[in-house]
A = this chain, B = another copy of it.
């Protein structure tokens, strides 16, 4: 007690202190059955006495079947991913699995590194929301020789199990909404077209524009992955000779940047410019006017990812499955009829 060892106590130490074999001590401490109550108590007491801490890693190694699931996220700054992580955490814990979180910081190299790290820690399964680079993501998926679910930034042709939002239909709805309000010069601001889901959103926007004979007004603008970059790019868009009357942003980070630009350009929403945001975020609720946005069913997505992972873990699923969830257009205050004035002077 007074003079603790340099090395932490092991199962062997517990066994010696409790005057039982390591095997018995192991059974007790690992929650297995087949030990008399009397000796079990002795083991627990001994463990407490010498301050024993189980080495789960050694246990996993010997057991050969890990109980952790790796989750690698592209951006902790994006509330959408954090919400998914929170949902997954709850499900995992509830099913006796531990989540090992890793953060790629929107950096493909870092992502590869993080995946390798998590995999090398012997996880039972992997859940990945990749960052930019479709081929890159495919290569990474191949690295994972455990049950794998890829989410959000993948499509239905991805060679892995996927859970995603139906970006296309939501984007179609959003564009139609703006067009119905009389907008013609609608710009689509996207983080990067290197992301499939962003590409899908942009394509659906373009299709909707074409269908409405507005092809000449199509403007898809890549803004970069950070709010800072979106800010700068949007500022340029807004200061062009023919300013768009409506902005359609492809994700919440882009929206944040666009809002800063609109603020800097001293423009009023929706008077000077309408704004439609793909993706909700908690802070949007304090904005005046309240943002019209496309809301993704985060809880449902998280739940689906977990259910799928569970099936995979139990070997009940051999073919790739691609799950799609419908996003909802919430019409609020930031989109309005285009004024004759705005349409002309813009």
Contact A55 B120 (CB under 8 A): yes
- Chain A 293-324 per-residue mask, 1 if CB under 8 angstroms from chain B, else 0: 00000000000000000000000000000000
Q: Quick check: is A121 within 8 A (CB to CB) of the other chain? A: yes
Q: How far is the CA of A256 from the CA of B287 in the complex (A)?
A: 11
A24, chain B: closest CB distance, angstroms: 21
Name A56's contact: one of B8, B100, B121, B256 (CB within 8 Å). B121
Contact B57 A122 (CB under 8 A): yes
For A105, give its contact among B76, B89, B110 (CB under 8 Å). Answer: B89
Interface segment, one of A36-44, A77-85, A151-159, A243-251? A77-85
How many copies of the polypeptide does the oligomer hold? 2
Chain B residues whose CB sits within 8 angstroms of the CB of A60 once the complex forms? 57
Q: Which residues, 215 to 264 on A, are CB-close (under 8 Å) to B?
A: 227, 256, 259-260, 263
Interface of A is mostly: helix
A286 and B85 contact, CB distance less than 8 A: no
Are B101 and A103 neighbours in the complex by a CB distance under 8 Å? yes
Q: Would you mind naming 29 contact pairs between A and B with Cβ atoms under 8 Å apart?
A: A8-B145, A53-B119, A53-B120, A56-B121, A57-B57, A57-B60, A57-B120, A57-B121, A57-B122, A76-B76, A76-B86, A77-B86, A77-B282, A82-B82, A85-B103, A86-B105, A89-B103, A100-B100, A100-B101, A101-B103, A227-B282, A256-B282, A259-B286, A260-B285, A260-B286, A263-B285, A263-B288, A287-B287, A288-B288
